[in-house]
Every structure is written in structure tokens, then in C-alpha cells.
Amino acid sequence: MRKLRNMALLLVCAGATTAMIACDWRQPPSVADPSAQVSDRGTELARAGAVSIGEQEFERLLRAVRASDLRADDSVERLEEVVRRVLLTRALGERAREQGLHRDPVIRDRIDRILRDELIASKVDAGLRPADFSDEQIETYYSAHEQDFKVPASASAHWIWISKSSDAEGARDRAAAVAELARQHSTSVAEFTKLVRENSEDLRTKAAAGYLGVFRGDTLDGEPLSLEQRSMRDALLELDSIGEIAGPVETPEGFAVLRLSGRRAAVSRSLEQVREELRHDLYKRERKQRLDALIAAALPDDSTSIDRQALVKFAARPPAARYAGTGKPPLPPIPGVPSPGAPESKQRPAPAIPAGENQ
């Protein structure tokens, strides 16, 4: 166990060393020269040839290790081994720089990712915690957005649509007959599906067993209700049990026979129910604002110029040639920022009529 713990400490310190010297790799040699930064590194602790490590740097590296790995019984020999590993990492880094690897676009991108994450950690995440948002802030936000925590009653429905076309009275009689048949077999999903197949004139929903959607407040599947759809919603909300039939509901274009396939009562969430949820929401909002401000300052919209013609030629190349020798093509996302071109979530297919179960 002690051997494993020592190895973990060495690996963490080596990784932290890579992050610390990343800045040096992106600087001119005069700035990256260790002797030029003695004041920031503290008194020299160790040296191996042209590379060295200062006391302050070593202390920072040790802070990067989890507290559980730093114990009072850490021996001088163990710490000396850590110093040797750090010096080795730096010596190999200097050798890589001498060979020009720091100018390779892939290497530069890796370094920039490290610097990016460190910048976000220091400018966005530093001093920002959900616990820092007071109850007063949460109560103020809740009062201003109280309607957002009230979910109106909803009802999902399947329907049979009969158009008036040129014979309004004939359509009325036909819709009444279909509604009566539906009521006689209200508990049978198969019978209603058969009525849809034989009578409905709405081709869009006919293929989905007549599934119309979910009425919630003044919307149908998130879209504002028309005047005719409001009358359908009102008729559905008067029903009590799954499978009950409403209608025929008359509209200027025809008649709707509706089957209640699911419903939910209105819900109002109190401040106490959402207090901790809001605390985290306020944290996320503040973090996003900080991140947006950092991005805007680093890369203003009007400062970007892209040669689209060059991209067109690049995109036309076969993938094997386009990414040859570069490893995986996708770049890692910025923490907290959606990746461009990410696929949108697919819409859920229309459900079949539930067999008497509330949604």
C-alpha cells in the first residue's frame, strides 16, 4: 500500500509539473529561462544541469496532491524522490523544446487546454460555491419567478377527426355515431384504434393511432393553442377517468372525438421544496455569466476572421486524409459551454394509447 501511495504522489506531482511549465512553453526562451523567474520560484531547492526547482514551486506541487496523501510521516527520502522526478520531467521538457516540439500545433493545443482550464479555475470557479448564495437571494428570485414553479393541469389525448368538407350535417351525424361507438368500448384500446383507422381524416395523427398530444395550460405539445384547440382542452379536462370520451367537439372545419389517455393534476412547488434547487441554479447562472464574460473578453465577436473557402476545401477532403496523423479529430469542449454542432435531442415518438394507466 505504501508503494502504491508513493507512486500516486509521484504521478500527481509529475502532472502538476507539466501544468506549471505549460506557461513557459508558450513564452519566448528569454522568459522561459529558469534563471529569469527566480523571484517567482523562491530560493532554489534543487538543480540538475540547466533545470532547477524553487522552494515555492515545490510547495505548490505538493499542494496539488490530495490531503490524504500528505502525511506527517513523509520522509526526506520520499520527498527527495519527488524532487528528482520533477527535475526529470523538466529536463525532458527542455529537451523537447530544443527539438522544436513546442511549435507543433497538436502540442500547442494540449498546452492551451491546460492554460484554458487553469484560467477558468482562477477567474470563473475561484470563490464561487452554491453555499455562498443566501436565503435572501433565493427568496427574492423565487418571488420574481413564482409562476415558473406552478405546473398547470395537463391531459394527453388521442382523437378521431371528421371533416365537415361539403356536408356539415352529414359529418355531424357521423361524428356523433363514432363518439357513441367509442363510448361503448371506452375501455378497449384496440377498438378505439380501429375506429381511428376506419374514420379519422387527419392523416398526420392517423398513423400514430390518433395520438394528438399533451394539453398543458395554454399549449399543445409546447405550442400555443388555437381557439378550436382550447375548446378541445376544456372538454378533456372535464373528464375524470382514463379512456373516457369527449365530444364530438365542433370546430369551423369539423368535429373532434377525443379519448383521454392520460392526465396530471396541477402542481405548485413551494419555496421550501425548491430552495436547494434554486441555490444551485443561482450558482450555475453566476458561473455562466462569469464564463461568458471571460470568453467575450478573450475572443470578441468582431475579432474573428475565418477563411470559409479554405474550410470548404478542407471539408471536401476524405476523412482519412483530413485527419491523417492528428489522432482523434474532435477537440474537447470548454467546461460549461456546449460544443458547436452537437446533435440535438431527438423528439420522442408518439406513444401508443395507454391501457388504462394514468400518465
pLDDT in tens, 7-19: 444 444 545 555 5
Give the per-residue pLDDT at 291. Answer: 94
Q: Using CA atoms, how far apart are residues 156 and 109, in angstroms rounded to an integer?
A: 51
Confidence of residue 190 (pLDDT cuts 50, 70, 90): confident
pTM for this entry? 0.54
pLDDT of residue 260: 92
State the residue for C-alpha cell 350535417: 169
> 26-30, 103-107, 263-267 — which one is most confidently predicted on average?
103-107
Give the confidence band of 256 by pLDDT, cuts at 50, 70, 90: very high
Poorest-pLDDT segment among 186-190, 215-219, 265-269, 292-296: 186-190
The angle at the Cα of 306, spanning 303 to 309, to the nearest 5 degrees, equals 160
Of the listed ranges 80-89, 185-194, 217-226, 339-348, the least confidently predicted one is 339-348
Q: Give the integer Cα–Cα distance in Å for 118 and 129.
A: 17
DSSP 15: H
For 310, the grid coordinates are 479554405
Domains present along the chain, CATH in parentheses: 2-117 (no CATH), 153-265 (3.10.50.40)
* Closest residue by Cα to residue 154 from 308, 67, 264, 267: 264
Cell of 33: 529561462
* Model confidence at 286: pLDDT above 80: yes
Higher pLDDT, 248 or 18: 248
What distance, in Å, lies between the first and last C-alpha atoms of the chain?
Answer: 53
The pLDDT > 90 percentage for the chain reads 22
Mean model confidence pLDDT for the chain: 78
Dihedrals φ, ψ of 352, to 5°? -75, 165
pLDDT at site 26: 46
Is the predicted pLDDT of residue 326 greater than 60, yes or no? no
Asked if residue 355 lies in contact with residue 187, where contact means CB atoms within 8 angstroms, the answer is no
Give backbone dihedrals phi and psi of 117, rounded to 5 degrees, phi first.
-65, -35
pLDDT confidence of residue 148: 84
Q: Would you tell me how many other CB atoms lie within 10 Å of the CB of residue 37?
A: 15
User: Which of 28-42, 146-160, 280-294 holds the top average pLDDT?
Assistant: 280-294
Alpha-carbon dihedral sign for residues 321, 322, 324, 330: negative
Neighbour-count burial for 122-153, b at 16+ CB within 10 Å, e otherwise: eebeeeeeeeebeeeebeebbeeeeeebeeee
Question: What pLDDT does 294 receive?
Answer: 93
158-196 burial, b at 16+ Cβ within 10 Å, e below that, comes to bbbbbbbeeeeeebbeebeebbebbeeebebbeebbebb
Beta carbons of 100 and 56 less than 8 angstroms apart: no
Summarised one tens digit per residue, pLDDT across range 23-82 is 454 444 433 444 444 456 788 888 888 888 888 888 888 777 654 455 555 688 888 888
